Amino acid sequence: MDLKERIENVKSVFPKGRTALMAALHEVQSEYGWLHPEGLKLVEEILGYSETEIFSLASFYHYFHLEPAPRYKLHICTNITCMQKGAYDLLKEAVEKADPKKVLVDEVECIGLCDHAPAALLNGTPLHSLDRDRLLDVLEHPENYDRGYRATYGDLKGLYGE
């Protein structure tokens, strides 16, 4: 599906409220790596939100990038369980080895995967029990690990759909 179809799909899954806007912004960022104006124009057209409404939501969340950013974002958890399992060594290695045009590396608070520490998210896709070798592979081939947000929409349809 292209971006337009994916945003239309978001609208069908979340027909009411602002959940659709949030999900559509994830789609735009997944497509471009940041909230590109072309993608936001589609959000305006399909969901009917104004530019002001879109920016007021997007600027509230650290996760959304209003300026150009790499397509892939690796968020490594450094809370206590992951820290005890070497998360800071992984974070240091990732910052040193990542191509900044390809992967943006950042820390994140606990992501609820403590029993599989050290853990991380790649564009929202959970990465369990990370070790150095897999981390380097993620940095080299992030496209092999990114499952994106779309996989979850179908599961939520029963909760939010009509």
Q: Which residues bind ligand FES (CB under 6 A)?
A: 77, 79-82, 110-114, 117, 119
The CA distance from 41 to 32, in Å, is 13
Cβ 98 to ligand FES shortest distance, Å? 20
Cβ 113 to ligand FES shortest distance, Å? 4
Burial (CB count within 10 angstroms: exposed 0-12, middle 13-18, buried 19+), residue 25:
buried
Residue with tokens 């002001």: 52
Cβ 64 to ligand FES shortest distance, Å? 22
Cβ 132 to ligand FES shortest distance, Å? 17
Cβ 112 to ligand FES shortest distance, Å? 6
CB 87 within 8 A of CB 121: no
Order of strands, sheet of 103-108, starting from the edge strand that comes earlier in the sequence = 103-108, 72-77, 120-122, 125-127
Burial (CB count within 10 angstroms: exposed 0-12, middle 13-18, buried 19+), residue 62:
exposed
